[in-house]
Structure 1
Amino acid sequence: METSIYRREYASFCSEKERRSYAEVTGRNIGADEELLEERYADLWARDHISDLSRALDETSAEFATERAALELLLAAAHVLYVEASARSVADELRACEQGAKWDEIRLQAAEEARPKERRALVRRALDALAACDDLRAERLALMEEAARTLGHPGSVALYERATRAQFDELAVAANGFLARTAERYLAALRARLRFDPEYDSSAEFDLADELRFRRLAAFDPFFPAEGLLPVWRTAVERLQIRLDQMPNLKVEPIFMPHGEARCFAVAPPDEVHLVIGQGTGLPRYASLFAEGGRALYFAWASRQMAARYPELIHSPDRAPEGGHAALFRRLWCDARWIEEVRGLPSAEARRVAHATSLAELHAARFWCVLAQRFVAENAALQRSEFAAALADATGFERTAAALQVEVREGWQATTELRALCFAVMWNERLRTRYGRAWWRTRGGRDELIDVWNVGARYAVEELAPLIGAGALDYDFMADAMLDCLGDED
C-alpha cells in the first residue's frame, strides 16, 4: 500500500473510532458495530502493509527529518494495531467478564461511600467476582507478547518504547529517584489527612477502598457544584484570552453523563473536536474537565496543514504530548492564587483546595512510578505479593494480590503519564519564569501555548521541552516542584 493511501486510511480509522466513542458516550446511534469497523480497516495492520511502511522509512533520507519522524510514528502505530488485533477476541471476552463483575460501577460506589466498613465490603465482593477474569488477562498479555516478537521486537515493552519514543530504562531509574525523593513528605501529608478523619478506619491498614475514597476529595464538594463546571472552565479560558465563541471547530457540550466525567473526542482535528462535560459534583470532576479541556485545545489548535499531510502527528501512538497539555491545565488546581481568582474562593479555602489537589497529584505520580518500573521489567521482576508491597509503600494504601489485576493500568500508559506530567511541571515553570506567576492570564502565555499546540506530536516531550526553553526533562525537579505545592495549606 502506498504511504499516502495508508495515511488516508489511518486518519479515517482514527476518526471513526473517535466518532464511535463520542456517539456511545452521548447516546447517539451511528449504526456500524465495532466488529464491522475493525474488519473495514484490517488492512492497516496487515503484515505486508506494515512491511511497506518499513521499506518507506528505510528509503527516506535523514535530510527529510519531519517525514522520517512521521513515518516512525506511523510504523509504530501500525505495530501497536497489529499487536492489539492479535489479542482482540480475548480482550473482548475480558471486557465482558469485567463488565459482568460490575467493577467500574462498584468502584464508583465505593468512592462515594463515606462509611469505611461498607465501602470495604463493596470492594471485597467486586474483587472476588473479578477473580474469574484472571486467566483471560494472562492469555491476553501472552498473545500480545507473541505478536510483538513476530514483528521483530524482543517483547511488548520494546514495541511500546518505540511507539512512545522514550528510553524506558532511564525512566525507571528516574521513577525510583522520584519515589525516594518524595516519600517522607508524601507519607507524612497523607497520614495527616487521614488519621483523624472519621471516613477512614485507622484501626486497620488503609486499603484500596480507602484509596478510592481518598481520590474522591469529597470534603470539597460544597465548593464544586455541578452547575459550576462549565462557567469555571469558560472563565479560565477567557483569562487566557481565548474566545471559545470564535472556535466553531471546538464544540463544548454540557450533557447528562454518568459520574460527571469530562471527555475530549478528537474526531477530525483540528476541524472537529468535541469537549463533553457531564453534570457531576466535586473537585475531581473539575480537575477532569480541565485535563480534557487542555487536551481539546491541543487538538483544536493543531496545524491544519500538518493534520492533512501527517495524520500520525495528530493521532499519535505517543500520547505524552497531548497528555502534557492535559496535565498542565489539570495542575492549575494546585495553584492557590489561580483558584482564588478563577473559582472565587477565599484565600484560606483556596490554599486547602490547592494542598488537597497537590497531594492527590503526588499520589498519582507515585502510583505511576511503580507501574512504570514493573512494566519496564517486562512484568516479570516482581511477583504479585512484591508488587502489592511496592504499591503500598508508594501510595500508603495496602493492596491484596487480587486487587492488582483490576486497579493497575496498562504499564505503558503509566510511562506516558509520568512523561506527560514531568513535561507539564517543567513547562509551567518556564511559563512562570517568562510571563510571571499568573502566566494563565497573559497574552504572551496564550501565544506560546498556541505555538506548541500547533506542532501536535511532531516531537516527543523529551525533545519538545528543550525546544521551548524548559530544559531537559528532570524528574528531580518535578519531585521538588510537587513537594513545594504541598506547602499551600495553612
Structure 2
Amino acid sequence: MSALSVEEFERRLEQYGIERSEEARAVRVGEKETSEQAAIVARYADLFTREQLDVLRAAEPDAAGAERESVARLRLACQDGVVTKELAEREDALENALLAARVPWDGGELPLRSAQARLATEPDYRRRDTLGATVLEVSAALNDERRSLLAARHELESAVTGIDDPVARNEAEKDVLLRPIADAVDTARVESTKAFTPSRERWLDRLLGPERDDTPTSAHMAWIRRMSPLEATYTKERSVPVCLATLRGMGFDLESESGIRTDLEDRPQKAPRACVIATDPPRLVHLITRAMGGLHDYEAFLHEAGHALHYAGCDPALPLAFRRLSRDHALTEIYSFLLDSISEEPDWHAEHFGLDEAVARENAEAAAFSSAILFRRYSAKLGFELAFWGRFPADGGTPDGYEERLTAATGVRYPAENYLGDMDAGFYSADYLRAWIRSAQLRAHLRREVGRDWWRRPGTGELLRGLFREGTRPTSEEIAARIGFDPLDTTALVDELTAA
C-alpha cells in the first residue's frame, strides 16, 4: 500500500487517536478488565511505516509558519506510531498484568489499583506502612518487564529518529533544552528549603501524628496529599458542587460545556489518579476523577477542569495538530496548575466552607505545603531521570540516585524499588516543572491585571478563553513572553514557595 498524502494521513490519524483514547478511557475508569490497544494499532498499521514517515519528513521543509509546525507534529505522531506498532502487544500485556495484580490484605486480596487508592484513606499509620510495602512489592515484581520495554523503545526510537542519546532525542521532540530547566528548578528548590523545612515538620506532625517516623515512607503520600485529617470539612460529597461554583466565579459553566463528559464514579479497577482524556477536542473530552474525601478531591477536580476547559475551549476549525497533538504537555498543565492553586487562597476556604479567617488561612497553608512537597519531588525526579537516561545506553537503567534524590528533596523516603513504577513517559516531569514556573508567572500577571482575587473574577475567564481558543498551538515559553517573563525566571515561584 502506498503512503498517504499529508492531508490523508491527518484524517486517518484523527480516527486512530479517537479509538485509542476511548480504549484507554475504558480501561482507566474500570469499565474494561483488559486493554486491547494492540488490536487498534494493528488496524491502523498502514499509518505507521517508514515510507509514510519519509513522506511527512519530505513535506516538512516545504511548509511555512504554522503549517510547518503542523506537519512536524504529524511527523512526530508517525514516529511514535512506528515504535508503538512494534511494542503494542507487550505494552498491552504489561497493562493487563497491572490490572490482574492482586495485593494480599486483611485476609483477602485487593486489585493493585484499589490498594493504591486505599493508601489515601487507611487511617492507621502502621497499617499504611504495611500496605504500602505490600503494594510496592507487587508493583516492583513487574520491573523486569518495565525495564525491558524501556530498552526496546529506546532501541526503536534511536533507529527511527537517528538520535542515540535519549535526552537529546526528547529535547528534539519538545524543542526545548531539559538541563537548564533542571538547573532552574533545583535553584528554586534550594532557595525555598529554609521556608519548606519547618513547614514540612509541622504538617507531617499534624497529618501523620506523633507515632510517625522521622522520615516516613512514600506509602503515606496519598494520605498527606489528601489532607485526610481535614476530611470532615472537605467532604467527598461537596467536592463537585464547590468546584463547579468556583469555576462559575470565573465565568466557566462546566456543566454546559457540551464537549466535556465527566466520570466521577468509584470502581474497583478505576485508576486512583485523576486525569483528562482528550478524545476529540473540542467535541469529546473526558474528565475523570476518583473522589476519596479530603481537600485533594477539590484540587484534583480543579486541576483536571483546567485541562478539560482548555481542550474543550479550542477553536474547532483548528487542524488536528493544534487541537489534539502537542510536542509536550507543558502548555495544558499551566491551566491545570493555575486552577488547582485556588485551594491556596484563604478567601476561597472562607467563602465555600464558612471558615473563620484563622482556620481558612491555616487550611490554605496546608494546600500550599502539599503543592510545595510535590514541586520538590518533581524537581528531584527530573534530576534523577536525566541521570537515568544519560547512562541508560550503557547500563540499561538502574535505580541509582532515585531514593537519595527524592528523599533529600522531600523529607519522605521514596524506596528505590519504585523507580520504574514512578517513571512517566517522555520526561513528563519536565513538562510539570515548566508549568509550575509558568503558572506562578501567570498568577503574578493576573494579580496585576485582574486583581488579587483573580480566582473569582470573570476577567480571568475571559483571558483564559482567549488562550484556550488557540488549542495546543503555542508553547509554554511563548506564553511566558506574552505576559512579560523569561521562561526560566523562577522569581514568582520562589516568592510563593517562601511566602509566610
Paired letter, 2:10: R
Shift of residue 6, structure 1, vs aligned partner: 1.1
Change (3 A) 1:442 1:412: same
- 8 A Cα contact 1:321 1:456, kept in partner: no
What SS does the aligned partner of 2:287 have? strand
Query: Per-residue displacement from partner, 1:434-469 (whole Å, max 9, x unpaired)?
Result: 0111123333322111000011111110122212x2
Shift of residue 211, structure 1, vs aligned partner: 2.9
Q: Which moved more, 1:419-428 or 1:196-205?
A: 196-205
Shift of residue 185, structure 1, vs aligned partner: 1.9
Shift of residue 370, structure 1, vs aligned partner: 1.7
Kindly report which structure 2 residues correspond to 1:139-158, keeping only aligned pairs within 5 A, or say none.
139-151=148-160, 152-158=162-168
Query: Per-residue displacement from partner, 1:9-40 (whole Å, max 9, x unpaired)?
Result: 222122222223344456668x9943321112
Alpha-carbon distance in 2 for matches of 1:391, 1:422: 20
Paired letter, 2:313: W
Unpaired segments ≥5 residues, structure 2? 104-111, 392-396
Paired letter, 1:174: A
Alpha-carbon distance in 2 for matches of 1:426, 1:278: 30
What SS does the aligned partner of 1:136 have? helix
What SS does the aligned partner of 1:266 have? strand
Normalised TM-score (structure 1): 0.89
Unpaired segments ≥5 residues, structure 1? none
- Counterpart in 2 of 1:218? 228
Shift of residue 188, structure 1, vs aligned partner: 2.0
What SS does the aligned partner of 1:226 have? coil
- Counterpart in 1 of 2:495? 481
Q: Which moved more, 1:330-339 or 1:80-89?
A: 80-89
Shift of residue 345, structure 1, vs aligned partner: 3.2
- 8 A Cα contact 1:157 1:378, kept in partner: no
- Counterpart in 2 of 1:164? 174
Are 2:342 and 1:328 equivalent residues in the alignment?
no
Q: Which moved more, 1:282-291 or 1:81-90?
A: 81-90
Alpha-carbon distance in 1 for matches of 2:93, 2:288: 29
Shift of residue 93, structure 1, vs aligned partner: 3.4
Query: Per-residue displacement from partner, 1:260-318 (whole Å, max 9, x unpaired)?
Result: 76543322211223334555321111111101111111011101111xx2445423241
Aligned match for 1:368, one of 374, 378, 384: 378
- 8 A Cα contact 1:181 1:479, kept in partner: no
Change (3 A) 1:196 1:314: closer
- Counterpart in 1 of 2:461? 446
Paired letter, 1:359: F
Aligned match for 1:17, one of 5, 17, 20: 20
- Counterpart in 2 of 1:180? 190
Q: Which moved more, 1:420-429 or 1:296-305?
A: 420-429
Change (3 A) 1:45 1:183: farther
- 8 A Cα contact 1:164 1:318, kept in partner: yes
Query: Per-residue displacement from partner, 1:323-369 (whole Å, max 9, x unpaired)?
Result: 11111111111111233234443322221221111111111111111
- Counterpart in 2 of 1:53? 56
Are 2:124 and 1:115 equivalent residues in the alignment?
yes
- Counterpart in 1 of 2:480? 465
Paired letter, 1:81: G
What SS does the aligned partner of 1:304 have? coil
Query: Per-residue displacement from partner, 1:42-91 (whole Å, max 9, x unpaired)?
Result: 2333221111111110222xxx3111122222222222333334333333
Shift of residue 125, structure 1, vs aligned partner: 2.4
Kindly report which structure 2 residues correspond to 1:57-456, keeping only aligned pairs within 5 A, or say none.
57-60=60-63, 64-99=64-99, 100-102=101-103, 103-151=112-160, 152-195=162-205, 199=209, 201-244=211-254, 246-252=256-262, 254-257=264-267, 262-276=274-288, 278-306=290-318, 309-380=319-390, 384-410=399-425, 412-456=427-471
Change (3 A) 1:32 1:369: closer
Identity fraction in percent? 21
| Number of residue pairs the alignment of both structures matches | 480
Shift of residue 319, structure 1, vs aligned partner: 1.5
Shift of residue 378, structure 1, vs aligned partner: 4.6
Alpha-carbon distance in 1 for matches of 2:155, 2:163: 10
Change (3 A) 1:245 1:120: closer
Normalised TM-score (structure 2): 0.88
Alpha-carbon distance in 1 for matches of 2:322, 2:183: 30
Change (3 A) 1:2 1:370: same
- 8 A Cα contact 1:116 1:200, kept in partner: no
What SS does the aligned partner of 1:474 have? coil
Paired letter, 2:363: V
Kindly report which structure 2 residues correspond to 1:2-41, keeping only aligned pairs within 5 A, or say none.
2-24=5-27, 33-41=36-44
Change (3 A) 1:377 1:105: same
Paired letter, 2:251: Q
What SS does the aligned partner of 2:60 have? helix
Alpha-carbon distance in 2 for matches of 1:166, 1:482: 25
Structure with more of its chain in helix, by fraction:
1
Alpha-carbon distance in 1 for matches of 2:69, 2:353: 41
Query: Per-residue displacement from partner, 1:197-243 (whole Å, max 9, x unpaired)?
Result: 66463455321223333222101111111221221122112111233
Paired letter, 1:293: A
Structure 1 residue ranges, 4+ long, deviating more than 6 angstroms after superposition: none
Shift of residue 421, structure 1, vs aligned partner: 1.9
